[in-house]
Amino acid sequence: MAQVPNQTSSQIPRYENCLLVSRHQLLPSQQADLEKICEKISKTDMLPTDTNDLKKFVEPYNAVIGVVPLVFQVQLLQWKKAVVLFYMEAIGTVGSKAEAEQLLTKSGLEGVILPPAKEGEPYRVSVYKGLLMVKEIKIVDEFIIKHG
């Protein structure tokens, strides 16, 4: 599980121009955190999938924040862009919306209640814990079958 260290304001990075990638309305604490690290924030629902289009699209930004697929994170880091993610922690699943609201209230944090995808599935509750900066993406491989 990722660690969310407590930081003093002198350790918090500042970016001149940030691109927020999200289809959802931000929680008030997410918006406040963004304003702490970004001077200017532009928003998009999604990133272009073509590498050349993506490179042109993110060129004016120092940081890309929000919902960023791993393959894009790798490319953005190669292009020297900061990648910042919202850290949401699942705190439970319950059978009704009322139980989900109670669980969220009991947590004392801001979060989201995800309704069931299908009839009979539970409500999922996640809380917002902070921003994570992706420092490095490392791929480690090993042979499972080796010839020669």
Residue 90 CB contacts under 8 Å (≥ 6 apart), including other chains: 124, 125, 126
The reply to whether 113 and 66 lie within a common domain is: no
CA–CA distance, 97 with 103 (Å, rounded to integer): 10
Whether 7 is in a domain gets the answer: no
Is the pLDDT score of 11 beyond 90?
no
Tell me if residue 119 falls in helix, strand or coil: coil
Q: Which domain does 104 fall in, by range?
A: 89-127
pTM over 0.75: yes
Q: What are phi and psi of 144, to 5 degrees?
A: -105, -25
For 31-49, the pLDDT digits (tens) are 999 999 999 999 999 999 9
Q: At what angle do helices 70-78 and 51-58 cross, to 10 degrees?
A: 60
40 and 83, same domain (yes or no) = yes
